[in-house]
Amino acid sequence: MIDAVLERIDADLEASLERLFHLLRIPSISTDPDYADACAEAAVWCQGALAELGFEAEVRPTPGHAMVVAHRADGASDGPHVLFYGHYDVQPVDPVELWHTDPFAPRLATEADGNKVIVARGSADDKGQLLTFVEACRAWIAVTGKLPVPVTVLFEGEEESGSPSLVPFLKANAGELSHDVALICDTGMWDRETPAITGSLRGLVGEEIVVTAANKDLHSGLFGGAARNPNHVLAKILADLHDESGRVTIPGFYDGVPETPAEILRQWEGLNFTAADFLGGVGLKLPAGESDRSVLEQLWARPTAEVNGMIGGYTGAGFKTVIPSKASAKVSFRLVGDQDPEAVRAAFRAFVSARIPADCSVEFHPHGGSPGLRVSLDSPYMARSLEGLSEEWSKPAVVIGGGGSIPIVGHFKDILGMDSLLIGFGHDDDQIHSPNEKYDVASFHKGIRSWARVLAKLAG
């Protein structure tokens, strides 16, 4: 039966791509209120796509962007009921001038090495990925009239903006959403040939800080030398975050950070990963993190502090000799092990406050807060999924760490009592969150085939 489903997927690829392009044309940037209508449109599009496949599909309002929830439960009653999760919202597109084409005008392109890609904001994160699952369902239904296992789908529209509505929604709908295992498609493969399930992920805490000095912008000639410059105050705070060895200096920051077991470090060494290749791919060569850790450890097992944005004073064309009233920064922390997001937030705030001169002030705006995660490695669903992936890619699938944060895994565990499997088909060079985001056509095509196989394996 699986062969007929895979054939159907191959034959339908062009139409699958057309459907993806539809979704990619909707500029569903969740963090920017100007795109609220586009987010609503993307939710409706997803609901329609699922309804067309015979799901009972609904757009569910939240105080923010809507959720899409869908059920189709004609699968084998003895197979596990899966909850599939993806997100239809995307990152902002600035600096938009660095995009070679309109971020929301998806196109197929062939890279210098012959690799075929889909270029658009959201192609890899996460519209292309979530559709791999939907298209796999479509093929199963087309060939067999039903799905191999009962499926519930949850699509979120606020993943790129801190998921403010998610926890209340999961709590309010726990009965409807809690099933045997969650499948999440928002991660990557190990490399172009090797499929992977992500076994650990870093958490995330974000803080925006706004430092205020004088009560108005000042002329640097009239006031310079005597009046406090908030750019200087902010630069000092941000510079103080790391010591010379790349270690974060906030007192208590490393509380709860475990040492990675020697055996895991050995496995990672066997992955044929080199810092030179990884950093070289983006034009760098010197690892910037803790100098006594390998790059893979820096990425998968160590917490970080990153200044994601900073601004103060005049930043337009030309020059303006101003001492601004305010300067601000967005700082995020990746967390591992048992680091407590709220403890890290409090420690950071104390660290900042201690560096604010007595006649200046600081405001804090929290953004997100999720701990690091480790996925259970010994479930039968993990084993069956690895098997399905290995068959599709003709290479053993591996369990890897991840540097990014997918807080939903923790929420599914805590609120719905479910384990998650993180299966995705992205690549490090997909430029997610960057200009010219792309998703390999092979990721999309073989991603659909992979899900078709995983669903079959899960049915047993």
Query: Segment 187-226, which members bind a second copy (CB under 8 A)?
Result: 202, 204, 206, 208, 213-226
332 binds a second copy (CB under 8 A): yes
Instruction: Please report whether residue 320 would count as binding a second copy according to CB under 8 A.
Output: yes
Find, among 116, 126, 121, the residue nearest to 98 by Cα: 121
**432, 441, 456, 458: residue in contact with a second copy (rule CB under 8 A):** 432
Using CB under 8 A as the criterion, what x/- string covers residues 250-289 for binding a second copy? -------------------------x--xx--xxxxxxxx
Does 428 sit near a second copy (CB under 8 A)?
Answer: yes
DSSP state of 120: S
Residue with tokens 């992205």: 426
The residue among 4 and 288 lying less far from a second copy, judged by its C-beta, is: 288
User: Which residue, 300, 83, 269, 281, is CA-closest to 182?
Assistant: 83
Q: Considering only 6-14, 30-38, 189-197, 451-459, which stretch makes contact with a second copy by CB under 8 A?
A: 30-38
CB 449 within 8 A of CB 212: no
Residue type, 371: P
Is 145 a binder of a second copy (CB under 8 A)?
no
Output 71 or 302, the one with its CB closest to a second copy. Answer: 302
Q: 36-52 and 13-24 are packed helices; what angle lies between their axes, rounded to 10 degrees?
A: 150
Q: Among 453, 380, 457, 410, which residue's Cα sits nearest to residue 139?
A: 453
349 belongs to the binding site for a second copy (CB under 8 A):
no
Give the binding-site size for a second copy (rule: CB under 8 A): 102
Instruction: Candidates 1-9, 29-37, 74-82, 260-268: pick the segment binding a second copy (CB under 8 A).
Output: 29-37
The residues in 289-308 that bind a second copy, with binding defined as CB under 8 A, are 289-290, 295, 298-299, 302-304, 306-308
- For a second copy, the binding residues in 59-118 under the rule CB under 8 A are 91-92, 94-95, 98
The Cα angle at residue 27 between residues 22 and 29, in degrees rounded to 5: 140
Cβ–Cβ under 8 Å, residues 257 and 302: yes
- The answer to whether the Cα torsion of 309, 314, 319, 324 is positive or negative is negative
In the complex, what is the shortest distance from the CB of residue 303 to a second copy, in angstroms, rounded to a whole number? 8
Position among 241, 408, 441, 452 found at the interface with a second copy (CB under 8 A): 241
- Asked whether position 319 contacts a second copy by CB under 8 A, the answer is yes
Distance of CA 84 to CAs 205, 342, 424, Å? 25, 29, 12
